[in-house]
Amino acid sequence: MGGAELSLALSVFLACAVEAVEAFTIVLAVGTTRRWPPALAGVGAGALALAVLVAALGPALTALPLGVLRVVVGGLLLTFGLQWLRKAILRAAGAKDKHDEEAIFRAEEAEAAAAPIATGFDGYAFTISLKAVLLEGLEVAFIVLTFGANQHAVGLAAAAAALAIVAVLVAGLALRAPLARVPENGMKFAVGVLLTSFGIFWGAEGAGAEWPGGDAALGPLVAVILLAALAMVAEIRARPTPSVDACYPWGNKRRRWGWGRVTVLRRAGLAVWDFVVGDDWRLALAAVAAIGLTAAVCALGLNAWWLAPLVALAALRWSLRGARPHRDPRE
């Protein structure tokens, strides 16, 4: 296995392990509080749906021309990675609460206990488990498809994802408790750095840029993104004045605007928007701008490999400009 394949497998493994831990916590709470058979049936149904999705879209993506594929995959990964990295920076700086699997487990357990239990098939346990697997699994499928299609190694990406899921299941079943000791926040930080780096690398290549040293430039790029992210963490920690909801200047807009009656179609649209765009739509716009500007400058005959990282990091820094720590980041 070469360096590119190893980087792909490691990135997919870490990202999928994070999602598997979150799904496992929800299913464990529902299964122990309600009934295991319908909960496991929901898990099976969700896993089957995701497997069909990967099997159907994988060949279609790999059939695209390489340049188009790298632009599409790079743009999606960069959009996704910037959102992951933004949240990870906020958590590391104390401006956003860290992910707590114990607290999530207790909340899901209380909610499951409060819902009435039917005498026949427990639809609640089935539905909650299905939703947990689908919602967290969609991110797994997205990562498997984007990484695997670009490298024409969907099988390797799927194997790394499956290994991550099996590892989480084995650890969770052995402990029979939420995996609270898993360094999930640190893993999310690493995944955010990797997704952002791969998105910049492949997106710039698809836009016509040639990286100095070819594939060997990926390692230094990851280091630059990591150092920039750590610098942003240090900057936010140094800001003294807490600011209520400063980290999410757009976060409550949806509730204030008033959406009226939430239809199924509108709910599905909002779910897609939140999945792809996340907390800050400006980062999605920046991802498009980073690749588009790179393509425009390369079309003029200049090798603008440096442009996409600058635009992406500048947009990320600007997105975090109002963040203030509201707790000790060492907690």
Written as tens digits, the pLDDT of the chain (331 aa) is: 566 678 888 889 988 888 888 888 888 888 888 888 999 999 999 989 888 888 888 777 777 787 888 898 899 899 989 999 999 999 999 888 876 667 777 887 788 888 777 667 888 889 989 988 988 888 888 888 888 888 778 888 889 988 998 998 888 777 766 665 667 788 889 999 999 999 999 999 999 999 999 988 999 999 999 999 999 999 999 987 554 444 444 343 444 434 445 555 666 566 666 766 777 888 999 999 999 999 999 999 999 999 999 999 999 999 999 888 875 545 5
Please report whether residue 324 resides in a domain: no
Taking the complete model, does pTM exceed 0.85, yes or no?
no
Please report whether residue 272 resides in a domain: yes
CB 181 within 8 A of CB 33: no
Q: Which domain holds residue 302?
A: 3-319
- The DSSP string of 112-169 is HHHSPPPSSS-HHHHHHHHHHHHHHHHHHHHHHHHHHHHTT-HHHHHHHHHHHHHHHH
Please report whether residue 58 resides in a domain: yes
Please report whether residue 36 resides in a domain: yes
Please report whether residue 269 resides in a domain: yes
Please report whether residue 277 resides in a domain: yes
Please report whether residue 327 resides in a domain: no
What total of structural domains would you count in the chain?
A: 1
- Distance (Å, whole) CA 117 – CA 249: 40
Q: How far is CA 236 from CA 189, 248, 327, in A?
A: 16, 14, 12
Please report whether residue 325 resides in a domain: no
CB 84 within 8 A of CB 317: no
